[in-house]
Structure 1
Amino acid sequence: MNGLLKNNFYGVAGNMKVLFTAIIIVGSIFEVIGDAAMVSIFAFIPAPIMALLAISCLRKESASKWGKYKITLPVKRKDIVKSQYVSHAIAGAIGVLVVAVFMGIAVIIHGNVYFYYGFRDAITLILSGGILTFFIGAIAYPLYYLWGDDKTEIIMVLAVLGAIAIILGFSLLINIVAGEGGVSDAKYYLSLLVIIVIAAVAYLGSFALSVSIFEKVEW
């Protein structure tokens, strides 16, 4: 398992350096400008981008024939799939951490001009990208093991669109339930907990589905 995780890391290490540098440059520009809308947009970028990078690693494995070779190793196919899901979660967590750091710096530099509703706005900006990341993974990996690596780009697009649709649909549902009175803090934190649980369940269910599909694949 550790070897598989290291391989996943080495597979994205080169691109991750470039991406991380770009994120820092863009984030720094937003920090200096201090515009609330730009900072809010930036908060949704790092985690999903890092996660998509983890997914794109599968295409690179196929090109190098590593994908076919590793199933001949003394490891279970379940562990191969698990390593990809763990790598995806780690990539998303790094993205969330980056957002948290940049948001903290933005507040230190410009003051608390970004959180109209206080702490809950900060939580929303920090966690939203992470939640989106889990839905992207939940959609992408079963499709990858079902359709194959030659459709990786299409799968990533579908995963992003599907994840955004889920988030928007859930947000719309919350606003409908809340009515004209708005979303109170209690309702907000409850809805946040619900969407986190849904994302976690979807991710775990996706893992089980991917394992089931992958174990039936013939090479």
Structure 2
Amino acid sequence: MKGLILNQYYAIGNSVRNYFVLSIFLAAVFLFTQNEWLLTFAAFVPIIFMVSPALEVLKHESKSGWNKFVLTLPLKRSHVVKSHYLFFIMLMFIGLFIVIGVFVVAELLLENILVEQAIYWMMNGVGVAFVLGFIAYPLTYLLGSEKSDMILMVSVIAGVGLFFLSSWLYEQILINVSPYVLQGLNHDMLFSAGFLVITLVLFIVSYVIALQVYKRKEF
């Protein structure tokens, strides 16, 4: 498993490093503007940027012929799929650490940046990243790596769209619920935690689906 993950890193190492630097730069720019809307993007962008190279791996493996060669090794297909998902999660956590690091530095320099709301933005960013993985991996296994760019674009749009749709639905639920029931609840935390849990479940379901697709795939 370690070898599979290292192979993925070596395949897209330059992209990982480029996205790493770009993520820090953009997050810093967004934070130092102290614009509330851009502060939200500062929590989203690094996470989304860092998982993007993980989704490029399948295309690189197809071009190099690795996706066929790996099947000749004493490995199960489940190991290959698991390595892709683990690599995705590793890059997602790197993106999350970038966000936390930049927010901490901005708090030291500007103050009133690392507020409670920032934690909810980070949770939402992780949730959107889970949606990307939920859509991208099964579809790429099914349709082929040749369409990976289109699938990645669709995944990003779907992830952001699902977030805004979930936010709208949550607001509609609040409108129709008695205020006495909701009294004392932290609605931002409730929504972010719920969105994160739901997308995590979808990500796990995605792994099961992707595994079945990959096992049946002919190369």
Gap regions ≥5 residues in structure 2 = none
| Structure 2 match to 1:147 | 143
Q: Which moved more, 1:192-201 or 1:64-73?
A: 192-201
Residues 104-161 of structure 1: per-residue CA shift (max 9 Å, x gap): 222221111x57xx51x12122222211111100010000110001111111011111
The answer on whether the counterparts of 1:96 and 1:127 sit within 8 Å (CA) in structure 2 is no
Shift of 1:80: 0.3
Q: Indicate how the Cα distance of structure 1 residues 76 and 122 shifts in structure 2: closer, same or farther if over 3 A, else same.
A: same
Q: Under a length normalisation based on structure 2, what TM-score does the superposition of the two structures give?
A: 0.90
Shift of 1:184: 5.8
Q: Indicate how the Cα distance of structure 1 residues 171 and 29 shifts in structure 2: closer, same or farther if over 3 A, else same.
A: closer
SS in 1 for 2:75: coil
Shift of 1:191: 2.8
In the TM superposition, what are the counterparts of 1:42-81 in structure 2 within 5 Å? 42-81=42-81
In the TM superposition, what are the counterparts of 1:133-212 in structure 2 within 5 Å? 133-179=129-175, 185-212=185-212
Residues 46-97 of structure 1: per-residue CA shift (max 9 Å, x gap): 1111111110121111111111111111111011001001111111111111
The answer on whether the counterparts of 2:30 and 2:41 sit within 8 Å (CA) in structure 1 is no
Q: Indicate how the Cα distance of structure 1 residues 124 and 149 shifts in structure 2: closer, same or farther if over 3 A, else same.
A: same
Residues 161-216 of structure 1: per-residue CA shift (max 9 Å, x gap): 11122111111111111229699643433333322221111011100000101111
Give the number of equivalent residue pairs: 215
Give the letter aligned to residue 170 of structure 2.
Answer: I
Give the letter aligned to residue 70 of structure 2.
Answer: K
Q: Under a length normalisation based on structure 1, what TM-score does the superposition of the two structures give?
A: 0.90
Gap regions ≥5 residues in structure 1 = none
The answer on whether the counterparts of 2:138 and 2:210 sit within 8 Å (CA) in structure 1 is yes
| Structure 1 match to 2:118 | 122
Q: Which moved more, 1:160-169 or 1:36-45?
A: 36-45
SS in 1 for 2:217: coil
Percent sequence identity over aligned pairs: 27
Select 1:132's aligned residue among 111, 128, 134.
Answer: 128
Shift of 1:38: 2.8
Q: Indicate how the Cα distance of structure 1 residues 10 and 196 shifts in structure 2: closer, same or farther if over 3 A, else same.
A: same
Could you list the runs of 4 or more consecutive aligned residues of structure 1 that deviate by over 3 angstroms after TM superposition? 27-37, 180-188
Q: Indicate how the Cα distance of structure 1 residues 29 and 22 shifts in structure 2: closer, same or farther if over 3 A, else same.
A: same
Shift of 1:41: 1.8
| Structure 2 match to 1:7 | 7
Q: Indicate how the Cα distance of structure 1 residues 85 and 174 shifts in structure 2: closer, same or farther if over 3 A, else same.
A: same
Shift of 1:32: 4.3
| Structure 1 match to 2:107 | 107
The answer on whether the counterparts of 2:51 and 2:129 sit within 8 Å (CA) in structure 1 is yes
The answer on whether the counterparts of 2:59 and 2:148 sit within 8 Å (CA) in structure 1 is yes
